Amino acid sequence: MLHNAYDTTVCQDYRIDPVIERLSEGYLREELQPLEYFGVKNYAIWMITDSNKDIPPFSHPITIKNKSLGDEELTFVDVRPYTKYNRNSDKSEISDRLNFQSLSLNGFLQSIWTKERYQDLLTAGSFPLALYGRWIATNIAQKLGLDPDNQMRITIHVMFFYLNQFRFNDIEYSEKELARTCTQIARASNIAFNQVFEIVNPIYKGYHIENLIEAIKNSIDNPRIDTLNVPLLISIVTYGWRGANAKEMMAVGIEYPPAWLALSWLTLNERGFKNTPLSKLAESMSKRHGGEDFARNLMRVIKIESSH
C-alpha cells in the first residue's frame, strides 16, 4: 500500500527529503496555516503560502509522521501557485479557485488515507471503481487494437488492481474476501461473477503499474499486449484531464486511490473540468453507477474526519 503520492511510479524519483525537513521546521515554528475549504478547517492539514519562502515547492500533498511533530500525522499542501498575497488583508487569498480546490481535495483525502481510514473512502461508492475500470481498460484496448474478450480481461484486472490498493497488507486473500472483491468487480463492470473469479484467481500482489501490466500479460495470449509497458500505459491513460500537473495527477491516480477519488469527485462537481475526456465519460456513467451518491458520501466523510 502506498502512503504518499510520492510513493507512486511517476513521483518516486523526486527528492522530497529537503522539503520534509523544511515543512517540519515551519510547523514547529508555527509559521503555517491550517487548510480551510469545503466549509471546514482541518488542523491535520497545513498550507504552504507566500510567507513560507524557505520551503521548496512541491506539487502533491505530503504527509509526515515523526517524533519532532509529536508523532502526529500531518499533511501539507503547497498552495502558493494558486494564491496571492493581499497587502490590505495581510493574508494569502485564492487566485486560482479550480486548481486550489483540486489540491485541497487531494490533501483532505490523503489525510484520511494516511490515518488508515481506507474503508471509509472505499465505501463512499462504487462509482470511482467503475470509472477507473472503464477509463483504463478502454484506452488500453483501443490503443492496442484488442478484441472485446481481451478488453473484458483487462477490465477485471484493472478493477482488481484498484481494490487491492485498499488492502493494508500482503497476506493471502481469504475465500470470503476474494468472493467479496469479485462481487464488487462484477457489479461495477457488469461482468458475470464466475468470469471475474476465474480471471483474478490466482492472486497477484503489488501496488505499482508494473504489477498490473504483469497480470494483464499473464492473462492475455495476444502478441499486441507484449508492447504494453509502464511508459506506454501512462501515456495512454493520462490525456484525459486539464489543470496544473494534469498528466502527473492522473498518473498518480492510477496507483494512489486518494488521487483517483479526487479526480472522480471533480468530474461530477466542478464545471471547470466538464469538457475533459474523463469528465465526459464520468457524466455518461454517473446515473447508472451512483455518481451523485458517491459525491455526497465522500464529502460527508471529509467533513466527519475534519471534525475530529
**Confidence tier at 204 by pLDDT (50, 70, 90):** low
Residue 168 binned pLDDT confidence (cut-offs 50, 70, 90): confident
DSSP 8-class letter at 235: H
Residues facing 64 on adjacent strands: 74
For residue 305, name the pLDDT band (cuts at 50, 70, 90).
Answer: confident
* Distance (Å, whole) CA 26 – CA 64: 13
pLDDT tens string 103-130:
999 999 999 999 989 999 999 999 999 9
pLDDT score of 201: 65
Element (H, E) at 278: helix 277-286
Q: Is the pLDDT of residue 16 over 80?
A: yes
Q: Burial of 212 by CB count in 10 Å (0-12 exposed, 13-18 middle, 19+ buried)?
A: buried
Joined grid coordinates for residue 308: 475530529
Least confident of 34-38, 169-173, 301-305: 169-173
Q: What is the mean pLDDT of the chain?
A: 92
Q: Is there a contact between 84 and 72 (Cβ–Cβ < 8 Å)? A: no
Backbone angles phi, psi at 93, to 5 degrees: -125, 155
**Residue reference for cell 487569498:** 93
* pLDDT on residue 67: 64
Provide the whole-model pTM: 0.95
Nearest alpha carbon to residue 1 among 158, 184, 206, 160: 206
Answer whether the bond into residue 202 is a cis peptide, omega within 30°: yes
**pLDDT tens readout for residues 243-290:** 889 999 999 999 999 999 999 999 999 999 999 999 999 999 999 999
- Name the more confident of 199 and 203: 199
